[in-house]
Structure 1
């Protein structure tokens, strides 16, 4: 802490976080990856658990039993991604019991609780598993320990082991591709205990699923680098080592899933800015002929698919701010919705996810700004809450975090824009902080804490926080999402500014006390907006891009920026140059707190440093904070406490609340 006021803010943040989390230490506080048996009799979910305000939360697998969440196995470390076998008799999940962060397959048989049996270790860390339709085999997606994480997961390398080398030893990169950088497919056969590699050398499999009992569909590329995902293709693999391309696309492909009889493949086609953050069109591909059908999901951007049987395909997705689930009658192509709700069904994930029973019920994690996460099974008879994470700490947050409401406004070109406004339960006008989401292709929903810890913290201190979904956001169809491609920092700039104008006109926001905060693309936009408009009293860009030219030669997703800007760094005057905030620093009058993680490979910390130094050279108040153990975003405690304290102090200094 540099000064006594920041130290005081740190103590206030600690008190806030303890009031929120301490009553549930040792219990699940955030939920994701729900799964359910085909008959709906048993449900499991991954829970994030804090034991103290240190490090990252661990995860554990919980079963819903008599209205409570009960850990299914008591092993040490973390566990996640639990999946029931087709007959419901065996639960498979991933756990890192032998080495922290390196997950391997474990099996819990006979429908019980207790100590799981480990399967043979795969060479790397298992990211996901899928049972074959006949229940005889388990497909494993295995990441090498040197593979990159996506920016949505925090960037940096995936579980890279620290070797015992002297402190002077250099970091080395050469032309050779590190074998530990690849993602490969393995198959485990429980009856024989054998583990067999499926994918051949030279094929990087980002994600995969079964296509009948004897083939696998995968999103694959010929290179393992994170940038290669953006041009990956849909491939079919068989157990003879043959690989056949099924589909190429000018945009991104994800979430492959084959029908139980192998007759069809479902895949999502979407314009995407981050691997793992996918919402788009539902396609059905005939693996025999390659014929593609596009399914009408009533303007829902699909975010997950699951085959119920060979003729019924379940899906979840986002439509504007709503979560939607439906079932496609595949022969006829018609989709019937199971539910559409204003509640978020994302859990602790980016977009709506869930699991279907054989009779079409849907298990989801539901929450809102005023509803702590619940595990809910939904069918024709309505919702059945299986378990809730509510506790005295969530009661505390509800008492201080104000209220959330949907707001809409019209951009200068006539496009309607919407967002979620979180505000104190008092009369405005309030000092307003605009919270810019990442991506740019992602979208806010009305969800618990808005997925950003600074939102309820700021509201509790008297600030209103606008969480906008500008053009380029998910949930509005691919045409809306693509409006940001080739124009980042263009028309979407005015989506934010017109939203602020609207809240000022409505008496919600004080025009002289408006601030910005955002991470990733939100960090870029927080840096960019202060170069385009002088109204902002303070800004906090986190993990930003501020110089698209240097980003092109330092990031692990370098060519993504070129595609989304439609610019060439070697050609002066393209958007790579004209949309770089650092080259407009002389226009800035806004004090900026620039934040980055030293381990960030997506938006390296030099981006924050460039903007900081450019601002200082132009006499603008600026601070630079680089966290040495953080990647893309600041996630672990106590670094997150420190960040929240600095954010709070920065806004209180330059746009104080009453």
Structure 2
């Protein structure tokens, strides 16, 4: 019998953006991480080359499992399993296969279309969920509504002048279409905004909140909408994602976890109303029904991913695989698409040796094989990645990724690599992680360029991170900036003690919560020669009223510290870098601050407060504000400028 994943990739693009001759002379066996290590290159050239990575988004497998749809650079494509790639048309949102095999796409942010039919909605389409009955559910966001932090901390574009906000006035909503009919049917959810949804037999299962801002995402509920009636199935102080209605209509599942949700599976009996965890499986980020008895799942596993098949009755794991790499998906979480028979899966797959590509696998085995070669010319930029483990102050094992470019992947002095500059890059969240990927994207995709500059780059996953279960993820609650920072500093000590890092040339940087830990570290230790704070929090007090997610984030991660009370304000200030500027002055760590002018997740006032506090205390600092940018930089000129400034700052600080 033919293995459907035994497909040959399309012919690679012939030119390495930096040096085609050098790439052609290299061994390309992706299983040999030592041979995959690239020689040192100019980090700015590497950063510029990585800016050309093409990411296949919204990967959707045809019901028959013989082709895959995806969106590449704003165009819908279909690729066969033997690597034939064909452009279909403009696509500014998701793309989905209908049960009858036709392709549904979004030609513009407010349009959906399939073979001669096109309809428009009043808002921006965030998701399309086809039904089995010739209908499609549309999840859309009103113009002017807040995006969450995973969507750059910006608003959905709205050109109204003046721009007016009223509570409950800018929502995420649901509507559905009969295919062929251009009139949408609104699903009325009074006073609720919708974060995620599923659709089956003209019933909607939705993750909702009363608060229309991203803060509401931290206080969600699970609602079933049927015949115009809304029934709440579950409320939680954790977060929910990926609601899924079962065939037959009796049960539903949803993932319950922390923040950008990685967690356990909840099963809801729609007849009795009983809701309970389904088995012990953890760190699930996506799942779907194969039939009314079984589910497929995927998610994080350490710094890699896992997936397989789950019994929907008792939660038994029927098959499970793990893989060293990353499955790209919505909100950056592992996601995949399965065929109708439940045998083949498709996803955007990348590994330390392989840039992102559309790939397929046997659903129960997880051996991912690329069927595109969108980024073949970048393979020569791969660096050596290894998982490294150390012990936290209390004895808890902590791990992370170490990126280097030694001649043969060696990181020990006896092999000639010697102690080298160390750059510690702290991830955001805090419930997020660094995963095994070709070029980790957070913090302006600088991890690989800095490794090419000759540094050892540590990507730590301290307590609070995903990939190690809910107990590990929740260990940061009420302890922000305490044990998690200790875990990061212990990782530095470990690399110094093992001869990997030069203790006199160590820098720290991070984005979002990672930016907070960076600024906080400057008030706690003088071991860093330079620091870079990107879109960071500097004052939890002002964050509690200015951020679009603070009303949810603060009660969760600060364990209920209430800024309306003197005790709450004291607790928030105690962990805010701006209130410890004198300690930063004593450490005297030069600090570069980068921030987007339109960031609503960590508003630019956070950067301005830090700059004023540090400069008033005599700390060497510089603030760079990027116009039009949100929580992360996206404009190519700004990304280049930020890379130049970071590398210049680390060089000037004596780290590189």
- TM-score range relative to shorter protein: 0.7 to 0.9
- Partner SS for 2:333: coil
Q: Does 2:378 match 1:394? A: yes
Q: What is the aligned length? A: 596
- Which of 136, 139, 142 pairs up with 1:141? 139
| Alpha-carbon distance change, 361 to 339 in structure 1, aligned in 2, over 3 angstroms | farther
Give the Å deviation of 1:381.
Answer: 7.6
Q: Distance in 1 between matches of 2:81 and 2:251?
A: 38
The aligned residue for residue 229 of structure 1 is 217
The aligned residue for residue 213 of structure 1 is 201
| Alpha-carbon distance change, 157 to 381 in structure 1, aligned in 2, over 3 angstroms | closer
* Gaps in structure 2 of 5+ consecutive residues: 1-40, 408-416
Give the Å deviation of 1:290.
Answer: 1.3
Does the CA contact (< 8 Å) of 1:369 and 1:450 recur in 2? no
The aligned residue for residue 43 of structure 1 is 68
- Partner SS for 2:510: strand
The answer to which of 449-458 and 385-394 deviates more is 385-394
Does the CA contact (< 8 Å) of 1:218 and 1:236 recur in 2? yes
- Which of 100, 104, 107 pairs up with 1:92? 104
Q: Does 2:80 match 1:65? A: yes
Q: Distance in 2 between matches of 1:359 and 1:557?
A: 38
Q: Distance in 1 between matches of 2:476 and 2:387?
A: 22
Give a deviation string over 1:299-318, Cα, whole Å, max 9, x none. Answer: x3100011112111111111
Give a deviation string over 1:586-622, Cα, whole Å, max 9, x none. Answer: 1111100011111011111111111111111111100
The aligned residue for residue 278 of structure 2 is 295
- Partner SS for 2:655: coil
The aligned residue for residue 203 of structure 1 is 192
- Which of 499, 502, 506 pairs up with 1:510? 502
Q: Distance in 2 between matches of 1:381 and 1:321?
A: 18
Q: Does 2:395 match 1:403? A: no
Q: Distance in 2 between matches of 1:347 and 1:382?
A: 16
The aligned residue for residue 431 of structure 2 is 441
The aligned residue for residue 57 of structure 2 is 32
Q: Does 2:318 match 1:336? A: yes
Q: Distance in 1 between matches of 2:75 and 2:130?
A: 20
Give the Å deviation of 1:14.
Answer: 6.2
| Alpha-carbon distance change, 636 to 385 in structure 1, aligned in 2, over 3 angstroms | same
The answer to which of 259-268 and 332-341 deviates more is 332-341
| Alpha-carbon distance change, 328 to 455 in structure 1, aligned in 2, over 3 angstroms | same
Does the CA contact (< 8 Å) of 2:325 and 2:350 recur in 1? yes
Does the CA contact (< 8 Å) of 2:530 and 2:655 recur in 1? no
| Alpha-carbon distance change, 468 to 348 in structure 1, aligned in 2, over 3 angstroms | farther
The aligned residue for residue 110 of structure 2 is 103
Aligned-pair Cα RMSD in Å: 2.2
Higher relative contact order (CA 8 A, sep 6+): 2
Give the Å deviation of 1:130.
Answer: 0.6
Q: Does 2:334 match 1:352? A: yes
Q: Distance in 2 between matches of 1:191 and 1:288?
A: 33
Q: Does 2:174 match 1:185? A: yes
Q: Does 2:409 match 1:428? A: no
- Which of 568, 586, 600 pairs up with 2:562? 568
Q: Distance in 2 between matches of 1:651 and 1:382?
A: 40
Does the CA contact (< 8 Å) of 1:85 and 1:131 recur in 2? yes
- Partner SS for 1:309: coil
Give a deviation string over 1:219-258, Cα, whole Å, max 9, x none. Answer: 11223122112112000001x3110101111211221110
Q: Distance in 2 between matches of 1:470 and 1:539?
A: 19
| TM-score where L is the length of structure 2 | 0.87
Does the CA contact (< 8 Å) of 2:117 and 2:180 recur in 1? no
Q: Distance in 1 between matches of 2:492 and 2:248?
A: 53
The aligned residue for residue 234 of structure 2 is 247
Give a deviation string over 1:308-365, Cα, whole Å, max 9, x none. Answer: 1211111111122231111112234312225211122236852211012223332222
| Alpha-carbon distance change, 340 to 501 in structure 1, aligned in 2, over 3 angstroms | same
| Alpha-carbon distance change, 293 to 397 in structure 1, aligned in 2, over 3 angstroms | same
| Alpha-carbon distance change, 68 to 361 in structure 1, aligned in 2, over 3 angstroms | closer
The aligned residue for residue 6 of structure 1 is none
- Partner SS for 1:500: helix
Give a deviation string over 1:518-561, Cα, whole Å, max 9, x none. Answer: 11001101100111111011000111111111111211112222
- Which of 229, 244, 249 pairs up with 1:262? 249
Does the CA contact (< 8 Å) of 1:60 and 1:71 recur in 2? no
Does the CA contact (< 8 Å) of 2:460 and 2:488 recur in 1? yes
The aligned residue for residue 399 of structure 2 is 418
Q: Distance in 2 between matches of 1:638 and 1:63?
A: 31
Give a deviation string over 1:378-406, Cα, whole Å, max 9, x none. Answer: 126874635233546403423xxx31111
| Alpha-carbon distance change, 614 to 390 in structure 1, aligned in 2, over 3 angstroms | same
- Partner SS for 1:438: coil
| Alpha-carbon distance change, 19 to 234 in structure 1, aligned in 2, over 3 angstroms | closer
Q: Distance in 2 between matches of 1:392 and 1:241?
A: 51
Does the CA contact (< 8 Å) of 1:32 and 1:349 recur in 2? no
Does the CA contact (< 8 Å) of 2:321 and 2:366 recur in 1? no
The aligned residue for residue 603 of structure 1 is 602
Give the Å deviation of 1:46.
Answer: 2.5
The aligned residue for residue 352 of structure 2 is 369
Aligned pairs for 1:270-285 within 5 A: 270-272=257-259, 277-285=260-268
Q: Does 2:89 match 1:74? A: yes
| Alpha-carbon distance change, 91 to 615 in structure 1, aligned in 2, over 3 angstroms | same
The aligned residue for residue 3 of structure 1 is none
| Alpha-carbon distance change, 469 to 282 in structure 1, aligned in 2, over 3 angstroms | same
Does the CA contact (< 8 Å) of 2:309 and 2:320 recur in 1? yes
- Partner SS for 2:95: strand
| Alpha-carbon distance change, 326 to 537 in structure 1, aligned in 2, over 3 angstroms | same
- Partner SS for 2:105: strand
Q: Distance in 2 between matches of 1:105 and 1:40?
A: 23
- Partner SS for 1:246: strand
| Alpha-carbon distance change, 332 to 617 in structure 1, aligned in 2, over 3 angstroms | closer
Does the CA contact (< 8 Å) of 1:350 and 1:442 recur in 2? no
